[in-house]
């Protein structure tokens, strides 16, 4: 199965994306890519690609780019020759294309996926699942991290079902601990949506551990956090921001004095480890799960390394056949889907 | 003007609250307190209080305590002899009581304030405003940080007006930069509420700087962040949690090896500074503004020091007569209030 890669998504496109693609092909010789972008650029870059990699690269030309400022659904409807639309169409129509990866405008990628690739039958809204490392060494999934900003309780119920399948089959967790993001741990807390979702999650055949507060995100006490995309986005970016700002303060403390510099030398290794953990550019991308093909949204500021990681991660997810499990779980477990 | 203090609020009550009260009285000899709590406890503790402080302490007895697990409005309606209800009643009925301070159940404190003390005329919903330090040395206000979890756009519009007055008159900012918490900076982003609020804030006579992402919370690029209480709570606690977890990892890095310990010695001072900045127990409390008296909610885990800080801060806020400014701003600026 090939991965369709949007060369024109993100702040550092197209070079960072192209370079990341080549790195991924070098690192895993099973990966095959369809690169989508402007003909002139792709043709020129391909000239200097090693011959042994070329056989695993297919080109698809798209001469338009959807910018971040554009209204997503208008752009997807009008720019039919954009890398996002062409890429999604390829995924939809070709059986040998299993995934679409882009670092472009979040709204446009998700709209393109919804309108062009389409949902798995029964899925009300696909959910954007972000993965973050915890302080105890594991991972925590956040569903939804920003795709669905206005949610009905039924959507969040399905986010839980979808994320649960992903955690089981991709992360290999037998009984993922699923928590509902809320303002307090007691049942009955929260806004109207959270209160309704709480009652729904209790009834699902999942390991629902109740409400969790935002402070628990990195604790390792929960594997999957369920939220509407608006509050989830605040949790994710608030955490990223705090990490970024604290690491900046530490850097200033270290470089601000001779004492600091000496201390910094002794603590270099563990500090780098913490910095890397908090650096979201080290994580490939977020999975937009619930579409009939895998869709992966990379960070807009992605550099070659994060694109490489995202492609390799997407390849591994593709092997697990997550779509089939989601289809089964949604249509067997969730009667509201039928 | 006296401050009414709930002795029975929080995890460390009543001792931590009583001790904090005494410390505040010692630190500022203008402060006068009404301590609300069980007669037996208060009478016993008063025996060992310095004579010169006693004249600034009044006692009010309340034999019941509202627990965190209780449903706020039911508890406030039924436990009429609880410290929260008695304290709020005192504020309502006595002109010489200007503020109510509690570290008790958030829901009960806010419900008590709403039902017993009441709102300033024209205020749709009082808002819980939390203050956090920024990395550039200033402060950032978050309105709402968890009191109003289901919001209409009109509420957030008023949160902006209220927080703007607070920032001007209490923090002394001439033109506070007001940002709307959102999933992206471009106009048109966000959920239905955020989109509607954006249009409203544009029309207000405030320094509205547009949408801000959660990553900006500690940056110092914004003075006031407007949000519904659900998403705001995720931002606040997500940031606190990230700070707590990162500091824990750093501590482990320092104590985990001899090299680390040496490095830690050299970096002790700046690290303590960062730790203190991220430690929310160093901040007095959150203001629930829009009620006819000041209402301050302290952290449930408050220790004597945070209670002391909250009392002193409340006293200073009381001097500024914030209520009058809010009343004027709401009723002059916001026609939806009339």
Q: Which of B136, B266, B271, B297 to mutate to test the interface with A (most CBs of A within 10 A)?
A: B266
A1 in Cβ contact with A34 (< 8 Å): no
B-chain residues within 8 Å CB-CB of A250?
Answer: 250, 270-271, 274
According to DSSP, the β-strands at A97-102 and B97-102 are unpaired
Cβ distance B274 to A260 less than 8 Å, yes or no, reads no
Is A80 at the interface with chain B, CB within 8 A?
Answer: no
* Shortest Cα distance, chain B CAs vs residue A101, angstroms: 21
Question: Cβ neighbours of residue A225 under 8 Å, at least 6 residues apart?
Answer: A140, A141, A142, A143, A179, A180, A181, A212, A216, A217, A232, A235
How many CA atoms are closer than 13 Å to the CA of B114, on its beta-carbon side?
Answer: 18
Rama region for A146: left / alpha / beta (φ>0; ψ in -120 to 50; rest): left
Chain centroid, CA B190 distance in Å: 26
Q: What is the DSSP string of A42-79?
A: HHHHHTTS-HHHHTTEEEEE--B---TTS-HHHHHHH-
Mean pLDDT, range A234-254, rounded to an integer: 90
| Averaged pLDDT for residues A319-338 | 83
* Band of pLDDT at residue A335, cut at 50, 70 and 90: low
Rounded Cα–Cα distance for residues A282 and A309 (Å): 8
Distance CA B185, CA B204 (A): 19
Q: Does A270 touch chain B (CB under 8 A)?
A: yes
Distance from CA of A296 to the nearest CA of B (A): 18
The confidence score (pLDDT) of residue B276 equals 81
For residue A177, give both structure tokens.
């601990």
* Bridge partners, residue B287, by sequence: B129, B296
For residue B98, the surrounding DSSP H or E stretch is strand B97-102
Measure B60 CA to nearest chain A CA, in Å: 30
Answer whether B244 touches A (CB < 8 Å).
yes
Q: For residue A271, is pLDDT > 60?
A: yes
Which of A69, A213, A278 faces B246 most closely, judged by CB atoms? A278
Least CB–CB distance from B267: residue in A218, A235, A253: A253
Query: Beta-carbon neighbour count of residue A34 at 10 Å?
Result: 20
Q: Do A264 and B267 count as a contact with CB atoms less than 8 A apart?
A: yes
CA distance A272 to chain B (A): 11
pLDDT of residue A257: 86
Query: Which of the residues in chain B have pLDDT under 50?
Result: none
Q: CA of A116, closest CA in chain B: separation in Å?
A: 22
b/e burial code for range A211-238 (CB count within 10 A of at least 16 → b) = bbbbbbbbbbebbbbbbbbbbbbbbbbb
Residue B265, CA distances (Å) to A112, A273, B254, B269, B271 in order: 54, 20, 9, 8, 10
Alpha-carbon separation of residue A330 from A43, A281, A323, B5, B12 (angstroms): 43, 32, 10, 52, 46
Contact B239 A238 (CB under 8 A): yes
Q: Which residues contact A184 (CB under 8 A, 6 or more apart)?
A: A190, A211, A213, B106
Select the more confidently predicted residue: B71 or A227: A227
- A231 to chain B: which residues are within 8 Å by CB? 230-231, 234
Percent of chain A exceeding pLDDT 70 equals 97
- In this complex, the residue of B216, B217, B231 whose CB is nearest that of residue A230 is B231
Q: Taking 80 as the threshold, does the pLDDT of residue A16 lie above it?
A: yes
Residues of A in contact with B236 (CB under 8 A): 214, 238
pTM of the model: 0.93
Per-residue HEC secondary structure of A84-146 comes to: HHHHHHHHHHCCCEEEEEECCCHHHHHHHHHHHHCECCCCCCCEEEEEEECCCCCEEEEECCC
Q: Which residues pair with B242 in a beta bridge?
A: none
CA distance B333 to A166: 50
Contact A149 B215 (CB under 8 A): no
CA angle B207, B211, B216 (to 5 degrees): 95
Chain B residue numbers touching A229 (CB-CB < 8 A) = 183
Contacts with B71 from chain A: Cβ below 8 Å? 188
Q: Round to whole Å and give the CA distance between B239 and A230.
A: 16
pLDDT the model gives residue B268: 85
> Does B55 reach chain A within 8 Å, measured CB to CB?
no
Q: Look at residue B337 in the predicted model and tell me its pLDDT.
A: 53
Short-list B124, B123, B128, CA closest to B106 = B128
Is the CA virtual torsion A197, A243, A147, A309 positive or negative?
negative
Whole-number Cα distances in Å, B168 to A207, A333, B124: 48, 54, 21
Query: Across chain B, what does the average pLDDT equal?
Result: 93
Query: Does B215 sit within 8 Å of A237, measured CB to CB?
Result: yes
Contact B250 A248 (CB under 8 A): no
Question: Residue holding tokens 């460390």?
Answer: B12
Q: Are B194 and B177 in contact (CB under 8 A)?
A: no
- pLDDT of B310 reads 94
pLDDT tens profile A151-198: 999 999 999 999 999 999 988 999 999 999 999 998 989 999 999 999
From CA B183, how far away is CA A231, in angstroms rounded? Answer: 9
The mean pLDDT value for A134-140 works out to 91
N- to C-terminal Cα separation, chain A? 30
The verdict on a CB contact (< 8 Å) between B263 and A259 is no
Strand order in the sheet with B127-133: B57-61, B32-37, B2-6, B97-102, B294-298, B285-289, B127-133, B139-143, B224-226, B177-181, B207-212
Closest CB from B135, B191, B234 relative to A249: B135
């Amino acid at each position: 199965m090939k991965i369709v890669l949007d060369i024109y998504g993100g702040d550092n496109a197209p070079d960072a994306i192209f370079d990341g693609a080549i790195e991924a092909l070098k690192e895993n010789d099973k990966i095959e890519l369809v690169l989508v972008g402007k003909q002139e650029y792709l043709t020129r870059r391909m000239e200097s690609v090693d011959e042994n990699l070329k056989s695993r690269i297919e080109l698809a030309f798209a001469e338009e780019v959807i910018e971040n400022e554009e209204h997503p659904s208008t752009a997807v409807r009008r720019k039919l020759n954009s890398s996002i639309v062409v890429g999604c169409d390829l995924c939809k129509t070709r059986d040998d294309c299993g995934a679409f990866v882009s670092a472009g405008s979040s709204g446009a990628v998700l709209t393109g996926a919804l309108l062009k690739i389409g949902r798995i039958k029964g899925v009300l809204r696909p959910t954007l699942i972000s993965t973050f490392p915890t302080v105890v060494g594991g991972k925590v999934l956040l569903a939804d991290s920003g795709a669905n900003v206005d949610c009905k309780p039924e959507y969040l119920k399905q986010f839980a079902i979808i994320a649960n399948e992903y955690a089981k089959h991709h992360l290999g967790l037998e009984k993922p601990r699923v928590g509902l993001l809320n303002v307090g741990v007691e049942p009955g807390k929260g806004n109207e949506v959270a209160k309704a979702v709480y009652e729904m999650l209790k009834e699902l055949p999942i390991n629902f551990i109740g409400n969790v507060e935002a402070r628990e995100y990195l604790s390792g006490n929960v594997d999957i956090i369920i939220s509407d995309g608006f509050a989830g986005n605040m949790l994710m970016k608030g955490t990223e921001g705090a990490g970024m700002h604290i690491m900046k303060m530490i850097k200033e403390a270290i470089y601000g004095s001779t004492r600091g510099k000496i201390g910094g030398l002794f603590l270099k290794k563990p500090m780098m480890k913490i910095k890397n953990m908090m650096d979201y550019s080290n994580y490939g991308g977020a999975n937009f799960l619930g579409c009939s093909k895998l869709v992966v949204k990379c960070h807009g500021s992605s550099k070659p390394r994060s694109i490489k990681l995202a492609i390799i991660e997407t390849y591994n997810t593709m092997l697990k056949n997550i779509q089939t499990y989601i289809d089964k779980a949604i249509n067997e477990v969730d009667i509201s889907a039928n």
